[in-house]
Structure 1
Amino acid sequence: MEFLLFLIILFILFILIEKLLRKWLRVEKKKISETSGKNVDRWGRGIILLIFLCSLPFLNIEDTNVIKWYWISYLTLLVGFQSFIQWKYLKNSKEYVISLICLMIGLIIICNIYYFI
């Protein structure tokens, strides 16, 4: 129950941070699905998800350090790919900057999650 409450607070925190960053950087929300990069985004996310799901059975689930690095690498690849696609297909937009800042915050939280719980 305590962990669920932590995740809810973390989710709300991310939403607030994103809204504040959008206001501070004056970035309008744009979607990749409205550009020609829609299929590239879908395929890329699908391939990253498939690779990480296929590697899951080979992990030692009991070792918390392995799981932590698994999530760090997954988050880095997924949001890094998302930022690259935003940079490539959303011209004249700073949408990728918000994604990269959220990536940094997410990595800091994942690295220190065992201190919060």
Structure 2
Amino acid sequence: MTFVWLMLTIAVALIFIDVVGRKLLGIKRAKLTDPKGKKIDLLGRVICVILAFVLYPTFIETEVLEMNYLFIIFFTVLFCFQAIIQYIYIKESKEFIITLLMNIVFVVFLFNIDALLKLYS
């Protein structure tokens, strides 16, 4: 049950950042419509996921990184890649700012996940 509350807290925080950030900064929701941008976005996400599955056992076996740091790196790369694609292919919008804000909030939650788990247990 602790995990459910933790995920719910993170989801509510990300939705809050999305709504409040858009209101304060005056950013309207925009989607990626350029076919070239969509292909690059899909290819980049697939490459990130494949790299995560390939590197995960290596990092865990050798104990180079703890699991939460691996997730922080993985999600930061994904969010930053998405922000770069949004910056390049959605010229009329500042959608990438919301993506970067959500990345910051998510990383803060992941850094403090142990404290949050203690709070909910």
TM-score (norm 2): 0.87
* Percent of residue pairs bearing the same amino acid type: 27
Q: How many residues align?
A: 114
d(CA) in 1 for partners of 2:3 and 2:55? Answer: 25
Q: CA deviation at 1:39?
A: 0.4
Q: CA deviation at 1:102?
A: 0.9
Matches within 5 A, 1:1-117: 1-32=1-32, 34-36=33-35, 37-60=37-60, 66-117=66-117
AA matched with 1:19 = V
RMSD: 1.5
Q: CA deviation at 1:60?
A: 2.5
1:4-33 deviation per Cα after TM superposition (whole angstroms, max 9, x unaligned): 11111211221122011111111111111x
Q: Which runs of 5+ in 1 are unaligned?
A: none
d(CA) in 2 for partners of 1:50 and 1:67? Answer: 17
AA matched with 2:34 = T
AA matched with 2:85 = I
Which structure has more RCO (C-alpha within 8 Å, separation ≥ 6)? 2
TM-score (norm 1): 0.90
Do 2:17 and 2:101's aligned partners in 1 also have CA atoms closer than 8 Å?
Answer: no
d(CA) in 2 for partners of 1:29 and 1:53? Answer: 31
